[in-house]
Structure 1
Amino acid sequence: MHLLRQSLLALAALVLAVGIWAVYVPAAAPWLERAGLYDLLGLEPPAPQSAEGGRRGFGGGAAQVVVAPVSTGQANARVSAIGDGRALRSVTVRSDATGMIRELAITPGTWVEAGALIAQLDDDAERIALERARLMVMDARRNLDRLRQLGGSGAVSAVQIREAELALGTAELGVEQAEFDLSLRRITAPISGWAGLLEVAEGDRIGTQDTIAVLSDRSSLQIDFRIPERFIGQLSIGMPVEVTALARPDHPLSGEIVALDNVVDRTSRTLRVQAQLDNADDSLRAGQAFSVTLSFPGDTLASVDPLAIQWSGNGAYLWAARDGQAVRIPVTIRQRNADSVLVEGDLAPGDLVIIEGVQTLRPGAELQIVEGASAAAPARADDA
């Protein structure tokens, strides 16, 4: 009980001291307000009176302040997503025939031009078949020429000549088939691109499903990502995007949207989007993860200097200079930029907000606007 009585006496003494300080030291009022005592007690801060009875700063005269005009700015809605990178074109090279690799003409990590040889399979049987087919064509052509010469004397019927023509056509098709079979033994690059790691070596016997190499044209990368369906109406082909490789967060890149899906995923309620990113320096690889950010234009709001923003127990506010007097205006911060803050409040373009000299201001205090250097030490402890 003795300890409780001493605590209550000490609390009462503290309250009395604060009250005396607030009454006999007017300059203490802003500090008490900043400490939140007025908000805690539910009281309105007292308005200081000058010698002439008007409201002024606590120094007894007009408060010297520096002001900045209110402008307008557009709030941006930003959407971020994680996407996967894909090469502009990528092809898995496989053989259309079964056989042993006689020659492997590429090495991993090299650039391969379209049509260049990748691998040569053994082709002895196919070359023999081609020579046989050519001999059959020569024989069929000589037989047809002989029958046509005899046809004028009536010794050969038209049916025999027709059968010889058919035999020649069949032999010519045999040559084409043999040439095609021989071409399958030569595996060439379908596109120009970089060769990845090879899955086979010279001497290996491969089948039609075996992968030989993967060629990737990564001069540009395509980034697949998804965004919420509420932004679909604001998407368009060619819209710029900000891209950052998760492995290189200090190296931001720029790209643009090149394709939009036509179906929203019912499970995630998102739309698949594809962006394209230049990779001329070949510093990126397919399969990398990327952070993609899209900016959508938002509402037009009042833009103020960051120094104008103050804080109290009720939230953010700022001081405006109207008719030579200070007006306290509560605001809601919507977006912070490097050199401005977009806010909602009772402000209009061209209004003057106070950015320096706010530490002694009260509602209705008379103001003297000065230019340039600091009018007074700003209370930066409350800045946003």
Structure 2
Amino acid sequence: MQIWKQLILSLVILLVGLGVWVRFAPSAGPLLVSAGVPGGMVALVAPATTGQDKGQGRSGPSGTQRAAAGNQTPLVVTEAAGTALVNDRLNAIGNGEAILSVSVTPLSTGNLTEVLVKSGDRIEKGQVIAKLDSDEQVLAVAQAKVLLDAARDKVERNRRLGNAVSIATLREAEFAEQAAELALKTAELDLARRAITSPSKGVVGIITVNPGDYVTTSTPIAVVDDRSQILVDFWVPERFANNMKVGQEVSAVAVAQVTRQLTGAIHAIDNRIDQASRTLRVRARLDNPDDSLRAGMSFSVTVRFPGDSYPTVNPLAVQWSADGSYVWRVVDSKAERVPVTIIQRNSDKVLVDAKLAKGDMVATEGVQRLRDGGEVKVANVPARSTKDGDEQKMSSAQPAVTATEVAR
């Protein structure tokens, strides 16, 4: 290619590059004019500007306006921090049992001759509830009495004879008398055991035997429940184990009687944690003066503790960074960054472990531009007229300014 063609091509490329530069770089036009390029030629390539934009560059506000916008005080919405208790109560489901429940069984074997109680009867301790056939035992008692009388007569005769009998013979007669007394007591005991008695007071359950049945020492005749008090067994998580004390007050509600509130106390605490469920067995005692509660009923048991108090904030207030979670506290129109540790999340509040007091104002909206120690402006709701023409002002603790309105 000839040299003049190369020069023309280079000049065209240079002119195109300058045109693109002037077209898209707002500061290129004034620079070329100051370098001696005619302004008319620059105007042919540079974009048109309005009168409003003159002196401001191609677009946007001036540098002074941009600086003013950058220094504008952030606008935030605040909400007062509150407090809440956690671990202040324990709810559990327990099973009720009578304070004393006895399954009555015979002490001897034999056939039942009669049953003296029925289901639902209230009986006292030692009361006879059934009897076994006792003809053989009655005869044994009578025979033992005869043998005892004979032994006593022999002892009396030997004593009246005095020196006519030897001491050995007298002692032998006395031993025979003692043996006869023991035989009589044994026969009377066997006869007494033919009557089946209750070892405790209470209410008789369903009788499962009938007269004529042959029963053994393992045959249950009836179950007697002392329902003057009800014991409720329930299980608590192991983290509450050290908070449970014997005598501590509890409240309970029977599932079958939800409108009735019961009060009682912890009666006993197990000595070990169940390894399978990681729970501790606790037994509560409830008074039952009107006998409205039954063994086997289920109860909802509540145990109250002093609990742990934590500050609460709006979920929108919690922010995150590489150092963890934090909130912005507003004090004297200045933002203060407060690190927090989340304890519990609820739908409307978050419990945190932080150096916050009840009533501290925490920023919930407009937090993107905040910096530690920086000035802030709290959004207040402007006065609005009511139907009667009166003006009402809402408290800044309950602002009605939304995030969209703050952004505007």
TM over 0.5: yes
Q: Is the 8 A contact 1:199 1:213 kept in 2?
A: yes
C-alpha RMSD over aligned residues: 4.3
Q: How does 1:206-217 map to 2 (within 5 A)?
A: 206-217=215-226
**How many angstroms apart in 2 are the aligned matches of 1:121 and 1:381?**
87
Q: Does 1:240 align with 2:249?
A: yes
Aligned to 2:142: 131
Q: How does 1:216-231 map to 2 (within 5 A)?
A: 216-231=225-240
1:176: Cα distance to partner?
Answer: 0.6
CA displacement 1:147-206 (0-9 Å, x = unmatched): 11112xx32111111111011111111111111011101111110111110011233332
Aligned to 2:158: 147
Q: Is the 8 A contact 1:84 1:290 kept in 2?
A: yes
Structure 1 unaligned regions, length at least 5: 1-48, 58-62
| Structure 1 pair 135–170 and aligned structure 2 pair: CA distance change class (3 A) | same
1:91: Cα distance to partner?
Answer: 0.4
TM-score computed with the length of structure 2 as normaliser: 0.62
**How many angstroms apart in 2 are the aligned matches of 1:273 and 1:56?**
55
**How many angstroms apart in 2 are the aligned matches of 1:167 and 1:381?**
109
1:142: Cα distance to partner?
Answer: 1.2
| Structure 1 pair 345–168 and aligned structure 2 pair: CA distance change class (3 A) | closer
**How many angstroms apart in 1 are the aligned matches of 2:210 and 2:401?**
70
Paired residue secondary structure (1:243): strand
Match of 1:291 among 277, 288, 300: 300
CA displacement 1:118-139 (0-9 Å, x = unmatched): 1122222222221221122112
Amino acid at match of 2:270: D
**How many angstroms apart in 1 are the aligned matches of 2:239 and 2:337?**
37
**How many angstroms apart in 1 are the aligned matches of 2:121 and 2:249?**
32
Q: Does 1:270 align with 2:279?
A: yes
Aligned length: 314
1:218: Cα distance to partner?
Answer: 1.7
Q: Is the 8 A contact 2:318 2:327 kept in 1?
A: no
CA displacement 1:84-109 (0-9 Å, x = unmatched): 22210100001111223233221101
Structure 2 unaligned regions, length at least 5: 1-68, 371-375, 384-391, 404-408
Q: Does 1:121 align with 2:121?
A: no
1:215: Cα distance to partner?
Answer: 0.3
Larger Rg: 2
Q: Does 1:97 align with 2:108?
A: yes
**How many angstroms apart in 1 are the aligned matches of 2:75 and 2:271?**
64
Amino acid at match of 1:134: K
Paired residue secondary structure (2:208): coil
| Structure 1 pair 137–274 and aligned structure 2 pair: CA distance change class (3 A) | same
Paired residue secondary structure (1:87): strand
**How many angstroms apart in 2 are the aligned matches of 1:352 and 1:270?**
39
Match of 1:365 among 377, 380, 383: 377
**How many angstroms apart in 2 are the aligned matches of 1:147 and 1:215?**
54
1:329: Cα distance to partner?
Answer: 8.5
CA displacement 1:4-55 (0-9 Å, x = unmatched): xxxxxxxxxxxxxxxxxxxxxxxxxxxxxxxxxxxxxxxxxxxxx9xxx877
Amino acid at match of 2:219: D
**How many angstroms apart in 2 are the aligned matches of 1:165 and 1:121?**
35
CA displacement 1:283-312 (0-9 Å, x = unmatched): 222222333344444433236xxxx84748
Q: Is the 8 A contact 1:326 1:366 kept in 2?
A: no
**How many angstroms apart in 1 are the aligned matches of 2:272 and 2:112?**
45
Identity across the alignment (%) = 37
**How many angstroms apart in 1 are the aligned matches of 2:291 and 2:221?**
23
1:112: Cα distance to partner?
Answer: 1.1
Q: Does 1:76 align with 2:67?
A: no
1:269: Cα distance to partner?
Answer: 3.0
Aligned to 2:207: 198
Match of 2:351 among 343, 350, 353: 343
**How many angstroms apart in 2 are the aligned matches of 1:380 and 1:368?**
7
| Structure 1 pair 229–328 and aligned structure 2 pair: CA distance change class (3 A) | closer
Aligned to 1:279: 288
Q: Does 1:110 align with 2:121?
A: yes
**How many angstroms apart in 2 are the aligned matches of 1:243 and 1:91?**
25
**How many angstroms apart in 1 are the aligned matches of 2:261 and 2:326?**
35
CA displacement 1:192-228 (0-9 Å, x = unmatched): 1111100112333322221110001122222223333
96-105 vs 209-218, which moves further: 96-105
Larger relative contact order (Cα-Cα within 8 Å, sequence gap ≥ 6): 1
**How many angstroms apart in 1 are the aligned matches of 2:380 and 2:319?**
27
1:146: Cα distance to partner?
Answer: 0.7
CA displacement 1:236-295 (0-9 Å, x = unmatched): 212333433344455443333222222333333333222222222322222223333444
Amino acid at match of 1:98: T
Q: Is the 8 A contact 1:311 1:317 kept in 2?
A: no
TM-score computed with the length of structure 1 as normaliser: 0.65
193-202 vs 220-229, which moves further: 220-229
Q: Is the 8 A contact 2:380 2:401 kept in 1?
A: no
Paired residue secondary structure (1:211): coil
**How many angstroms apart in 2 are the aligned matches of 1:121 and 1:138?**
28
